[in-house]
Amino acid sequence: MYRGSIVALITPMHPDGTLAEESLRRLVDFHVEQRTSGIVSVGTTGESATLDAREHCEVIRLTVEFAAGRLPVIAGTGANDTREAIHLTACAKAAGADAALLVTPYYNKPPQEGLYRHHKAVAEAVDIPQILYNVPGRTACDMLPETAARLAEVPNIVGIKEATGDLDRVTRLRELCGPDFALYSGDDATSCEFLLRGGDGVISVTANVAPRGMRALCDAALSGDRAGAEALDARLDGLHRKLFVQANPIPVKWAMAALGLAPTGIRLPLIWLPEDLQPAVREAMAQAGVI
């Protein structure tokens, strides 16, 4: 599977909230130029919660079209309704996505057996490589390593994005799921150590703003260069933290607009980053060397 720095791409929008197609094209080209290892399209950072099903599928289709095989595209297709998740995953396959990323069902709090049956049903319905996504801080639902191990036995479930920030889970998941099951960090602040402990990559918010830095960090960590990886991570630490001063993707969309890489659109109920928080994000961008 895919390794290294995979960007959780924003969905660029005009100030009125409509999709900014040409900006999306430029962002894909930017990440190719910056040597990002892959793109996640329409994940949490891509405002999947406020795109309707038609828009969701269209953004995936456009991202695949613009990437044109130059880097892999992983489509966010999770939902808290199994039927909807199957529909979105089928759209991703039809669009030519390389894999799908499915968040655990949010809000309805399924038990572990429900999580197992949900993801197994999607995997059996749509023949595309699928990556589980565990982010209990947003979903109020925690997929335990033992459940991930059961799902790892399903042939086209190939990895997990683990966003708890609990580094002990890296070891536990590797023990239970085996060496061929891909482990991705979903928490930028702990991603360096995650990789040094045996992870395969990071699906990163920071990579939107500092793609070359995140690529270098991942390359160092995956090669076992602890000192080099930690030095690179220290430079990016401010971004890891300040891009979450409000709910993601509020700060990262402001940062991308500040860099001239995206317009100033975001959809309610999210709002534009308040002026009093902008200096902290700008300072972190300066520390990372992107402005």
Annotated binding site for pyruvate: 45, 203
What distance lies between CA 96 and its chain's CA centroid?
Answer: 18
Extract the annotated binding site: 45, 203
Q: What is the DSSP letter of 274?
A: P
40: enclosing H helix or E strand: strand 38-41
169: enclosing H helix or E strand: helix 168-177
What distance lies between CA 139 and its chain's CA centroid?
Answer: 15
Q: Which long-range contacts (CB under 8 A, 24 or more apart) does 270-274 make?
A: 270/47, 270/50, 273/245, 273/246, 274/246
List the catalytic residue out of 2, 116, 133, 184: 133
To the query of whether residue 2 is one of the catalytic residues in this protein, the response is no
Cis amide leading into 249 (omega within 30): yes
To the query of whether residue 242 is one of the catalytic residues in this protein, the response is no
List the catalytic residue out of 93, 161, 242, 253: 161
Query: Which residues are catalytically annotated?
Result: 133, 161
